[in-house]
Amino acid sequence: MNSNLIWLVFTPLIGSAIAAILYNYKFLDRLITFSTFAITLFLVFGTHVGQTYSMNLNFMGRMIPLSWNVTHLSIFMLYISIVFGTILTFYSLMDRSRMKGFLLLLILAANNWIFTTNDMVGFFFAWELMGWASIVSVLGGRKERKSRHAALYYALMSIGGSYSMFFGLFTLWRLTGSFSISSNLAYLSSIVGVHPWWVLGIVSLFFVTFMIKAGIFPFHTWVPMAYAYAPDTFTPFLSAVMSKYGIYGMLLFLPISLMEKGMPTVFGLPWVNYIFVWIGVITAVLGTVLAFFQDDVKKLFAYSSLSNLGYIVAAISLFTSVGVTAGIYHAFNHLLFKGALFITLAAVISRSGTSKLSEMGGLWKKMPVTFFTFFIGIASAAGIPPFNGFGSKWLIYQSMIKQHLLFATILLFLASTGAFLYLFKAFHSIFLGQLSHNYDNVKEVPVIGQIVEYLLMFAMIFFGIQPGYILRPVGLIVKSVGLNPLAVMGNGYVTGMFSNVDMPLIGWSLAISFVFGFILFFISAKHKYVSQEDNYTAGQIPQDWGLTPETYQFSWKFYEPMEKLFAPFYRIKIDGFFRGLGDWTRITGSAVKQVFVGNAQIYTLFAVVGLIILVIAGWVA
C-alpha cells in the first residue's frame, strides 16, 4: 500500500481548484500550474515499479475497488509526460496565449491516473476527465470561431470514443464481474484461443477510443483542426503528451495478440496486427502528404504528428522485441522533438502574430535561440543523426524489414523523405529567406522562453547521442510485456538486429564537418546584403508582373509543383464521412423538431395514437 500514488492524482486536483479560483489573475494561475507540475514531479521521484494502492469507492450501494499499480510502462510514461509538462508550464509563465492552467492541471490529474490505475472505473473516469478538460482547453485559441469549431469537432470524436470504451468496459464487466484491468486482460488472453472473434470485438471497442485519441487513420480528422486552433501553449501538450494516451492504451491490450493462436496469419503476424501495421503506415503516409499543402504552420506540424503516430502504431503493432522497443522509443522521441517544435512555434507566433507560413520569413536573425531550437527540432523530426529522432526511426525500419513487410517499409521510407520536404518548407519559410518589413521590430522571446529552448536543445542532442538512457527503461517495459528486450551495449549505442550505431561517433563527425563548413564560409568572399525587392529580375520590374513584396517572398507558394502533383489526393476527404454523419444528424434533427410545432389538438392526437398503439400491443400480447 503506497498512498503516494493517490496523491499523484489529488495534488493536481487541489492545485487545479486553487488555480481555478485565482483564474482571473493570469500569472498566478500559471504559477500555480507550474508549481503543481513541479510538486507532482517530486512525487513521481518517490514512485517505484511495483507500488500498489487500493481503496474502495462507495458506489451503487456497494464497494467498488479502485486500485493503482505502477508498472515499468506507467513509470516511463509518468516521467516523460510530467517532465515535459513542467517545462511547458515553465515556458507558459511568460506567455500571452489563453491557455487555462487549471484545465491543464485537471489533465495532469487524469494523466497520472490513467498511467497508474489498474481498474477500469478509474481509467474511464480519468479518460473522460482528460477528454473534457482538453476540449475546453482547445477553446480560446487565437481564432475564436475556428477554435470553437475545432473544439466541437474534437468533442464529438472524443465523446464518441469514450462511449465506445464505455461499452467495452461494461461488456468485460458483464463477462468477468470485475473492473480490474489486469484480471480482465488475463481473462481475454485466456479465451482468445477459444473465442477469437469475441475478444476481437471487445478489444476493438477499446481500440476505437485509443485510435481517436492518438489520431490514427481513419479517426485522424480532428487532429489538424484541434492542434492548429488550440491556444498556442496548449498545442505542445496536445501533440507531445496527449496523443500518447492512445499509444499507452494500445500497449495495454497488445499482449493479447501473443496468445492469438486461432487466427490466420499474414507474414508471420496475426492478421489483425497486420491490418494495424497498415493502418499505421497509411497514417504515416497520409500525414506526410497532407502536410505539404499546409500554409498554417501549426496545421503542418499537426499532420507531422499524425505521421509520427502512424510510425509508432506500425511499430508496436508488430509486437516483436524490436517493434515495441522502436515504438516506445519513438513515442519518447516524438514527445521531445514535437514538444520542442510546438513550443518554438508558440514563441514565433506570439512574436510575429501570424501562423501563416507565407507571411513569415527571415526571422532567424531576430530570434536566434528559437531558430536553433527549431533547427534541431526538425533535424530530429527528420531522423537525422545524431539528433534524437534517428535511433527510433532506424529501429522501426529494422523491425519492419525483419517481418519482411517490404512494401510497407518502402512507404514508410517515402513518408520519411516527404517529412524532409515539409520540414524544410517550414524551416525555410519561417526562419530563412528574406525578412518581411512587418517584422523589423520582432524580438527574441523573453529569458524564460530562452531557458526552456536551451533546455530542449540540450535534451534533443543529449538523448540523440546517449540513447542508452532511454533504451534501458524501454527494455524493461519490453521485458514486462513478455518479449525479449534488445541488448543495450552502452549509453551511446542504438543496438539493432543487423548492426549497432555508435551515436557519439556520428555526432563528432557531424560536428567536425560543421566546423569545416564554417571555416569555408568565413574564408570565402564577402557577402553583400540587399533588400527584398532589390533582386535579380532579368531586367523586369517586379511590379509590372503584379508582384508585391508579399508574393515576392520565397515562402509564397513554396512547393507549388509538388502541390500540383499531389493535388488529386487532396480531394479525397476522409472527414467527409464524419461530416456527412453530422449533416445527416442535423437534418434528421430539424425534421424531428417538426413533431413539436403543433397545437394542442396535435399533441392530443399524439397521445391518443400512442394509447391506441399500446392498447393494440396489449391486445395482441
Residue 29 or 260: the one with the smaller Cβ distance to another protein is 29
Residue 10 or 372: the one with the smaller Cβ distance to another protein is 10
Residue 614 CB, shortest distance to another protein, in Å, is 4
Burial of 517 per CB tally in 10 Å (0-12, 13-18, 19+): exposed
Residue 406 or 611: the one with the smaller Cβ distance to another protein is 611
- What character string, x for contact with another protein (CB under 8 A) and - otherwise, covers 271-310? ----------------------------------------
Burial of 568 per CB tally in 10 Å (0-12, 13-18, 19+): exposed
Is residue 607 a contact residue for another protein (CB under 8 A)? yes
Residue 473 CB, shortest distance to another protein, in Å, is 30
> Under 8 Å CB-to-CB from 34, ≥6 apart: which residues?
86, 89, 90, 92, 93
User: Binding segment for another protein among 183-191, 248-256, 456-464, 588-596 (CB under 8 A)?
Assistant: 588-596
- The one-letter code for the residue type at 559 is Y
Q: How many residues does the chain have?
A: 621
49: which 3 cell numbers?
515499479
Is residue 226 a contact residue for another protein (CB under 8 A)? no
Contact 208, 164 (CB under 8 A): yes
455: which 3 cell numbers?
533546455
Is residue 63 a contact residue for another protein (CB under 8 A)? no
Residue 589 CB, shortest distance to another protein, in Å, is 4
2: which 3 cell numbers?
503506497
Is residue 21 a contact residue for another protein (CB under 8 A)? no
Of residues 28, 93, 159, 547, which one binds another protein by CB under 8 A? 159
Residue 106 or 481: the one with the smaller Cβ distance to another protein is 106
Residue 134 CB, shortest distance to another protein, in Å, is 12
Distances (CA, A) of 215 to 158, 200, 208, 225, 323: 10, 21, 10, 11, 20
Residue 147 CB, shortest distance to another protein, in Å, is 8
User: Binding segment for another protein among 55-63, 423-431, 443-451, 514-522 (CB under 8 A)?
Assistant: 55-63
**Helix ranges, 353-480 (H):** 368-381, 389-402, 406-431, 447-465, 468-480
Q: Which residue has the cell 520519411?
A: 416
Residue 27 or 514: the one with the smaller Cβ distance to another protein is 27
Contacts to another protein from residues 436-465, by CB under 8 A: none
**Spatial separation of the C-alpha atoms in residues 88 and 344, rounded to whole Å:** 11
Contacts to another protein from residues 178-197, by CB under 8 A: none
Question: By C-alpha distance, which of 316, 306, 468, 455 is closest to 381?
Answer: 306
Q: Site for another protein (CB under 8 A): how many residues?
A: 62
470: which 3 cell numbers?
532511454
Residue 150 or 400: the one with the smaller Cβ distance to another protein is 150
Residue 304 CB, shortest distance to another protein, in Å, is 27
Residue 19 or 290: the one with the smaller Cβ distance to another protein is 19
Residue 174 CB, shortest distance to another protein, in Å, is 5
Contact 555, 361 (CB under 8 A): yes
Contacts to another protein from residues 97-156, by CB under 8 A: 106, 121, 124-126, 128-129, 131-132, 135-136, 139-140, 144-145, 148, 151-152, 155-156
Burial of 572 per CB tally in 10 Å (0-12, 13-18, 19+): exposed
Q: How far apart are the first and last CA of the chain?
A: 57
Residue 539 or 589: the one with the smaller Cβ distance to another protein is 589
**Helix ranges, 194-320 (H):** 196-214, 222-229, 235-237, 243-253, 256-259, 271-292, 297-318
Question: By C-alpha distance, which of 223, 241, 225 is closest to 89?
Answer: 241
Residues that bind another protein (CB under 8 A): 24, 57-62, 106, 121, 124-126, 128-129, 131-132, 135-136, 139-140, 144-145, 148, 151-152, 155-156, 159-160, 163, 166-167, 170-171, 173-174, 585-586, 588-590, 592-593, 595-596, 598-600, 602-604, 606-611, 614-615, 617-618, 621
